[in-house]
């Protein structure tokens, strides 16, 4: 076991932890990055899309070096009801996001940290935070202690260390969503042909409605190189209350759904994964403990807008800000709570907390039965009335009147206003 002391110990070599380690090591600090998995990224899972601008700020030459699969140039949102869907497509001339495998991206980020001088140890389980007089002074692994001036907790959504230390309460189902994903092997030529893409172009497709069996959340499709990722993000509280079978059946139902299956067909499944996702978690945006900063999913830094998900860029940037706060604290030789509050100030000024505050009521809207069931039904009925003609075409107003069921126009307008206001 290591007996040396470090400027900083970082728990978790995902995007948040590796970004913190990279930026600290680059400044010459003595950094230890510990990872529970066999290699960085081995325990990471997400849908597949990442927004690039924050990562371009953190990593010089990011676009040229990072393991990017495809750049997202096509956006599609579909409302699904009874095997039919109403979709909106956007084909862009440029892109600010890409699809990738998080395992590859995390491994690349960790290697960048190691190349700058960080010490990486994998397959190590941190049992507890080392606490002395209410201040975090390192980590405990088995019977041994490893000391540092500051610990950066990037352990992810399952905040076991923070719970054991009494820093946060145990997660409740209402705090998180569950993401389930299948990766399906497909030749690039088939992907491009079926999804209407050119070489290296990617699709981000979000589906809402009864495709998730009425459970609040949504389904997604992302196109990679040689594979397509399909899955769902479901609010865990409602999923627990509604599902009486293994949750894997939900994503299997999405794969076999006629709207999706006509694209993926009988191509083989090469990967299945599931992961908890922050939804209503709030911690480090508000408080700090001496000698500790919390980054990434452990801090609740993920934004689910329904039509897109942002987590990797939030996580990586929070690690980047933690490194900046550490550098300022080190310059003054004081790692107390007051100094580390600089991290809080950096977060508040950043796009992360601004975005989380701006869209803090989104989850309530996403829980609405109207969003999940009623509106997909109304909009698909409207499309049927407008496009499935026999002899006479209705006016749009007639089609709208015929489409709504047991919902007043006032109710429709009120809900539409709430959606526009908070989205």
* pLDDT on residue 286: 45
The region, left, alpha or beta by phi > 0 then psi within -120 to 50, assigned to residue 213 is left
| Rounded (5°) CA angle 334-337-340 | 70
Structure-block tokens of residue 30: 């003595």
pTM: 0.91
Counting every residue written for the chain, the total comes to: 423
User: What is the set of domains in the chain, with CATH numbers?
Assistant: 6-48+102-171+281-349 (3.50.50.60), 51-100+172-280 (3.30.9.90), 364-422 (no CATH)
For residue 280, pLDDT beyond 80 = no
pLDDT exceeds 90 at position 268: yes
Residue 415 has pLDDT above 70, yes or no: no
Average the pLDDT over 168-176 and give the result.
87
**Least confident residue range of 113-122, 249-258, 283-292:** 283-292
Centroid of chain to Cα 242: 23
Residue 219 reports pLDDT greater than 50: yes
**What is the tens place of the pLDDT at every residue in 10-52?**
999 999 999 999 999 999 999 999 999 988 877 767 768 999 9
Element housing 81 (H / E): strand 70-81
pLDDT grade for 100, boundaries at 50, 70 and 90: very high
Q: Is 14 exposed, middle or buried (0-12, 13-18, 19+ CB in 10 A)?
A: buried
């Amino acid at each position: 076991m290591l007996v040396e002391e470090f400027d900083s110990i970082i728990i978790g070599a995902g995007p948040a932890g590796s970004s913190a380690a990279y930026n600290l090591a680059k400044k010459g600090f003595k950094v230890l990055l510990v990872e529970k998995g066999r290699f960085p990224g081995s325990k990471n899972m997400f849908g597949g899309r990442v927004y690039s601008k924050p990562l371009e700020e953190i990593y010089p030459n990011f676009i040229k070096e990072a393991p990017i699969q495809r750049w997202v140039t096509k956006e599609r949102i579909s409302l699904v009801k009874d095997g039919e869907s109403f979709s909106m497509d956007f084909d862009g001339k440029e892109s600010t996001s890409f699809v990738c495998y998080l395992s590859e991206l995390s491994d690349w980020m960790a290697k960048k940290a190691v190349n700058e001088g960080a010490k990486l140890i994998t397959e190590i389980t941190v049992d507890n935070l080392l606490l002395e007089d209410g201040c975090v002074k390192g980590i405990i692994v088995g019977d041994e202690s490893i000391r540092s001036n500051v610990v950066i907790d990037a352990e992810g959504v399952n905040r076991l260390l923070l719970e054991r230390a009494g820093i946060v309460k145990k997660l409740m189902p209402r705090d998180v969503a569950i993401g389930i994903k299948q990766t399906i092997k497909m030749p690039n030529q088939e992907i491009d042909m079926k999804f209407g893409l050119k070489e290296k172009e990617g699709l981000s497709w979000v589906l809402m409605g009864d495709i998730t069996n009425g459970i609040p959340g949504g389904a997604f499709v992302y196109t990679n190189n040689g594979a397509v990722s399909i899955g769902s993000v479901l609010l865990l509280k409602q999923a627990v209350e509604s599902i009486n079978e293994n949750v894997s059946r939900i994503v299997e139902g999405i794969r076999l759904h006629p709207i999706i299956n006509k694209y993926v067909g009988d191509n083989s499944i090469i990967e299945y994964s599931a992961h908890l996702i922050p939804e209503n978690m709030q911690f480090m945006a508000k408080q700090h403990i001496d000698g500790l900063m919390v980054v990434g999913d452990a801090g609740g830094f993920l934004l689910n807008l329904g039509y897109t998900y942002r987590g990797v860029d939030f996580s990586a940037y929070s690690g980047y800000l933690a490194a900046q706060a550490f550098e300022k604290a080190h310059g003054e030789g004081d790692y107390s709570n007051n100094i580390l509050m600089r991290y809080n100030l950096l977060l508040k000024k950043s796009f992360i907390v601004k975005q989380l505050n701006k869209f803090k009521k989104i989850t309530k809207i996403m829980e609405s039965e109207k969003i999940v069931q009623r509106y997909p039904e109304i909009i698909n009925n409207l499309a049927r009335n407008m496009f499935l003609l026999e002899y006479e075409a209705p006016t749009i107003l007639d089609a709208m009147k015929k489409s709504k069921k047991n919902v007043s126009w006032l109710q429709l307008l009120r809900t539409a206003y709430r959606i526009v206001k908070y989205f």
